[in-house]
Chain A
Amino acid sequence: TQLLEQSPQFLSIQEGENLTVYCNSSSVFSSLQWYRQEPGEGPVLLVTVVTGGEVKKLKRLTFQFGDARKDSSLHITAAQPGDTGLYLCAGISSGSARQLTFGSGTQLTVLP
């Protein structure tokens, strides 16, 4: 069974601070996705990273895929209250292109 561990599980910070969320696995994934989920809604895709070492930026969010394609990080610069939500990483293995393996999520709260 492939597992994705996210850390920290909970994070509460003040507006304007920076933060990093980590997603780690002992398994190799062909690609990895990050989602954000708000209460009562389904996850919404933020980014897909495919190449080992890849870095993608989405405004104040920076996503990195580890060289070995086993881990990833999400860095948020100058967090805003609107960034509050559950951040989920999800791995796609080369053996099954039809299902995502999700991490347990990081609940981020940005206080004004």
Chain B
Amino acid sequence: EAGVAQSPRYKIIEKRQSVAFWCNPISGHATLYWYQQILGQGPKLLIQFQNNGVVDDSQLPKDRFSAERLKGVDSTLKIQPAKLEDSAVYLCASSLPPSQFTEAFFGQGTRLTVV
């Protein structure tokens, strides 16, 4: 079974530039998460999709961050314009609908450095 795929693995950009990250979840997983993990901290949920609908985006800085999940499969997360404090690892995860058996699977993450 293929895992969660993310690209790129690494990205270095200058502040005020734009960047986009891509995620392909495990086939059949309706739930997709984007997390931001700043060095030394636990992952913070940015946005959660159920199929192609947004379930939770309460912590997404909507003035600069946007995300979409077309056709309920792949997803992209965009930052425009980037700030220095956006330097972090961006993690994508997917899972089946909630039950006690539901396990979340994570991709390798994208490490973003804003200089």
To the question of whether A and B form a pair in one complex, the answer is: no
